[in-house]
Amino acid sequence: MSVLFENVVLIGVGLIGGSLVLDLKRQQLIGHVHGVDLDAANLERALERHVIHSASTIMDERITQADLIILATPVGTVAQIAQALKPWLNHTCTLIDVGSTKQTTIDNIARVLPEHFERFVATHPIAGSDRHGAMAAQFRLFENKKLILCPHTQQNSDSYQKIWQLWQATGAVVSELSPSEHDEILAMVSHLPHLIAYSYMHAVVGQKLGEQALDYAGSGFRDFSRIAASHPAIWTDVSFANQDSLLKLIDEQQMQLQRLKTLIKQGDAQALYAYYDQAEQWRAAWPKTSN
């Protein structure tokens, strides 16, 4: 495949943005990568690790040369970054994001950069970890992982096709969802699980023996709580951006816990067994249909 983009600006040189440009540079699908990040020390590490070729803590005239801009910062920063980009964007530049929620980002780009909206492609890799920053960037993070594109009504087909190709080149399995479906679905399988993991840490440590209890926790607790070590900036922004879906799901979760409480209090072993058995079957069947 020939070079897809000659001049890339990566805004947010962290786990996701850094991993994406590492793969694309290795395959020579992109040329020069200029990193922009608020954190100067993080940019130093990115330069040392050859994640990016040049770096800046501010938007400047280098943006005008970009034929691809990758937005890889927490979703709550998008409107303000779009505003800062506005004076520098050339009209043929493709703009993408990698954020965990899609609707508010699409709305913000349409509002702040209306003349550029057709060249904005909303993307979301369902891959990552609880690590963050340029030191966490790694090759092949997206291989065999799902990648969701959320096309919008004004989509420029040239930008869209190229971004599809770009993600396919990382080994990701690309599919499409509408932004609203995306946010509703990801609330269930990614966002609420993170919020529950955070809240469970509070529930445990809030107990009299809580801190001591952590010394005795095993692999089940390790698996369940790993995502509570994720960066709070990401999840604070996700919580607000996807609040409609999340608030409904929190209510639903409270009802499920209430149901458990009732079954235990009633001593209804049969109903409790059936409840666990059903969940066990759904979970056991799941990896067969997932990549």
Ligand X SMILES: NC(=O)C1=CN([C@@H]2O[C@H](COP(=O)(O)OP(=O)(O)OC[C@H]3O[C@@H](n4cnc5c(N)ncnc54)[C@H](O)[C@@H]3O)[C@@H](O)[C@H]2O)C=CC1
Among 30, 55, 150, 234, binds ligand X (CB under 6 A): 234
Within 162-201, which residues bind ligand ENO (CB under 6 A)? 190
Q: Residue 223 has which token pair?
A: 């698996």
Burial 32-59 (b: 16+ CB within 10 A, else e): bbbbbbeeeebbebbbeeebbeebbeeb
Name the residue type at position 110. A
Asked if residue 35 binds ligand X (CB under 6 A), the reply is no
Residues with Cβ < 8 Å from 190, sequence gap 6 or more?
100, 126
Instruction: Say which entry of ligand ENO, ligand X, none residue 190 contacts (CB below 5 to 8 A, set by partner kind).
Output: ligand ENO
According to DSSP, the residues that pair with 71 across neighbouring strands are 11, 97
Asked if residue 148 binds ligand X (CB under 6 A), the reply is no
Region binding ligand ENO by CB under 6 A among candidate stretches 73-81, 102-110, 124-132, 152-160? 124-132
Binding mask 36-55 for ligand X (x = CB under 6 A): xxxx--x-------------
Residues with Cβ < 8 Å from 166, sequence gap 6 or more?
4, 5, 24, 29
Residue 226's Cα: distance from chain center in Å?
16
Q: Which CB sits closer to ligand X, 32 or 231?
A: 231
Among 4, 8, 9, 13, binds ligand X (CB under 6 A): 13
Name the residue type at position 16. I
Within 75-94, which residues bind ligand X (CB under 6 A)? 75, 77, 81
Asked if residue 229 binds ligand X (CB under 6 A), the reply is no
Q: Which CB sits closer to ligand ENO, 66 or 228?
A: 228
Q: Which CB sits closer to ligand ENO, 19 or 100?
A: 100
HEC per residue, 224-253: HHHHHHCCHHHHHHHHHHCHHHHHHHHHHH
- SS3 of 92, please? coil
Q: Which CB sits closer to ligand X, 29 or 81?
A: 81
Among 7, 100, 108, 155, binds ligand X (CB under 6 A): 100
What is d(CA 28, CA 123) in angstroms, rounded to the nearest whole number? 21
Name the residue type at position 157. S
Within 230-289, which residues bind ligand ENO (CB under 6 A)? none
Residues in contact with ligand ENO by CB under 6 A are 100, 126, 128-130, 190, 227
Residues in contact with ligand X by CB under 6 A are 11-17, 36-39, 42, 72-75, 77, 81, 98-100, 125, 128-129, 132-133, 136, 231, 234
